[in-house]
Amino acid sequence: MNGVVKIPVSGAVRAAANVNAEDVLDVEVETDHTSHTVTVPDDLGAALAGDPGLRAFFDGRSYSHNMPMSPGSSRPRSPRPGRHA
């Protein structure tokens, strides 16, 4: 995008920071090096245990991709632009 990086920020975060959507900001982004793990439901764990390749694939996915599979993580994911249900 012509050397410009854009990071989406929710309306709630913008309101809390007292900024508008069209404001240009300089921000500092830091990598989160914290180890994150997902609690795998028993039925998914059993399915993964039966297929080492699938387990390796699952384990290689990011925390944010695996989080919706965790018990208690029932918040619906918003559809991505260009994706159809």
Of residues 71 and 7, the one with the higher pLDDT is 7
Here the tokens at position 48 are 């993964």
Q: What type of residue is 37?
A: T
Q: Distance between CA 6 and CA 25 in Å, rounded?
A: 10
Q: Which pLDDT does position 70 carry in this prediction?
A: 62
pLDDT surpassing 80 at residue 61: yes
Residues 6+ apart with CB under 8 A from 40: 48, 69, 70
Of residues 84 and 49, the one with the higher pLDDT is 49
Token pair 């920020």 is found at 9
Would you place residue 25 in the very low, low, confident or very high pLDDT band (cuts 50, 70, 90)? confident
pLDDT surpassing 80 at residue 81: no
